[in-house]
Structures are given as C-alpha cells and as structure tokens.
Amino acid sequence: MSPKTGIVVVGSLHYDIFVDAPHRPDAGETVTGHSWHPKFGGKGGNQAVSAARAGGAVTLVSAVGSDEFGRFVMARLDRTGVGTEHVSKVDGLGTGMSVAVSDASGDYGAVIVSGANLAIDPSIMADDALWSSAGYLILQNEVPETVNIAAAAAARSHGVTVCLNAAPWREMSDTLLDLIDILVVNALEAEAMCDLPVADLSGAKSAAAALSDRFKCTIVTAGGSGIAFATSQDVGTIPGEPVEVVSTHGAGDHFIGHFIACCSKGATLYDALAAANSSAAKLVSGSLGGTEV
C-alpha cells in the first residue's frame, strides 16, 4: 500500500487589511500611511494555500461568517486548489479579520479578531472521510484548543503525522502537546517553551535540542538567521538566505505549508526544510511572484 500523502489543515481564515506605513504607531500616535489593500489571510488559510502551491493535496477545515468578508475569503480560496468542503458558514458571527501595519523595514505588527474561527465544530474531525487520504495534519493557535485536540486525536487514530505551529503563542495543555509529532516555533515561542534564550542560530539549535526530548521533530525558526531542527537522531541548522526584505508578512506560514508539502512528497527532513527556507526567503524579498490569492 502506498503511503497517504494528503494534507489536512485545521485553522483560521481572516480577511486581512494590510497597511503600508513609514513606521508602526506608538501608544497614542497617529501615523499617516502610504497605502492599504485587502488580503486573504489567517494562519490556517495561509498555510493551506502555501502547501497547495508547493504541490500538496490539501483540505482545509475552518469557518467563515455570512458576510462580505466571508465571501471575499471563499472566492479567493476557491482559486487555489485547496479543498473547502469542510469550511463551514456560521450565521450570527463575523468572519475573522486582522489589521496588519507594515513599516519601512518590511516588519509588521497585527491585531486579529477571531470571529467565526471560534465556532469551528470539533465534531467535524470525527468524519473518517476527512482522513481517508491524509498523511499530515497542520495546526496553529488561532482556533480554540478544543478544536486542535479533536483534530490531533482523530489524526493520530488514523496514523496521520501531526504538525503544530504554536503561533500565536499561548499556554498549551499536555493533552494537546502529547499528540504532536512535529513542533514548529519561532524564537519567542521557543523561549517560552524551554526557557532558553534564542538570540541567534546557535540559540535556536540549543532550544530545538531541548524541545526534542518531548517531540519527534522540533523546528525553531530564527528569522533571517535561518532555522534549527532536532530529532532523536540529528540536530542541525540551515542558515538564512541573505535577501533584501520587502515584507515579512506571511513568511512563517509560507515556510510551514511549503515544508509539509515537501514532506508529503517524500523529501527528507533536511531537504524539505532547505526548500521551505529558500522559498520563504524569496517571499520576503518579493521575488516569488504570483503569491496573492
């Protein structure tokens, strides 16, 4: 029997309002921006689209409201090849949304309002058909933990590898963490989980090694410095690719989707990480092209 290669993503969908400004406002400050535009978003949606564009067969489990934001998100999602039969429409709640402000350096800050993402029905995960061709599950922390636990438990019962991107950071229960095979965290999230400083790639490597005592595979992203990874057999790093940053918005989500898509096609851990690292570098430099949903 050939291995199952499908990817299930359980996570958020957002209507993003993306603002370009000279700098992000301090408390009480009003900043005059250059421009703004609506954008497809949500960590679940972004990771699903990234995985599909990297050649993965992807199904998304999420929820939207019965509003213009929801119609915008679904219209764009339908262009990508991501399966949407498990995206629910929730009456009485707005579609999740965010406002992101990008500064002159390409870095950004954002505020999210979860809306319908808080109403994803955990019972969807009991549908055996959802897992019939799945080899990987991707989770994040923009939906309730009860949803993540239900998805991870169902995935495990079907022999599916579970990947958690622990972002945005929040305390997580042992019930959830005990179901995770692949943990992906950034420097701040790694520090919160293992109490080790992550100021550079060496620190990321130490944090990945420490967290590998609990997870089969741990990946710590360290921005432009690169990524570190650890398993029970190997600990290593992949340096960042030097590029001129246009915008870092969505880079982490792009990395994860691309990485899992490569894994689903049989790439080794190192090769999948290297390919995802390179693709994310192209995204932040603006050279990837054609990424807008």
pTM over 0.85: yes
Domain membership flag for residue 104: yes
What number of CA atoms fall less than 13 Å from residue 293's CA on the CB side?
30
* Digitized pLDDT (tens) for each residue of the chain, 293 residues in all: 457 999 999 999 999 999 999 999 999 999 999 999 999 999 999 999 999 999 999 999 999 999 999 999 999 999 999 999 999 999 999 999 999 999 998 888 899 999 999 999 999 999 999 999 999 999 999 999 999 999 999 999 999 999 999 999 999 999 999 999 999 999 999 999 999 999 999 999 999 999 999 999 999 999 889 999 999 999 999 999 999 888 888 899 999 999 999 999 999 999 999 999 999 999 988 888 656 77
Kind of pairing between the strands at 217-221 and 226-231: antiparallel
CATH number of the domain where residue 150 is located: 3.40.1190.20
Question: Which domain covers residue 94, as residue numbers?
Answer: 6-22+36-180+241-285
Tell me how many domains the chain contains.
Answer: 1
Q: Which amino acid, residue 34?
A: H
Domain membership flag for residue 68: yes
CB 258 within 8 A of CB 274: no
Domain membership flag for residue 203: no
The position carrying tokens 């979860």 is 114
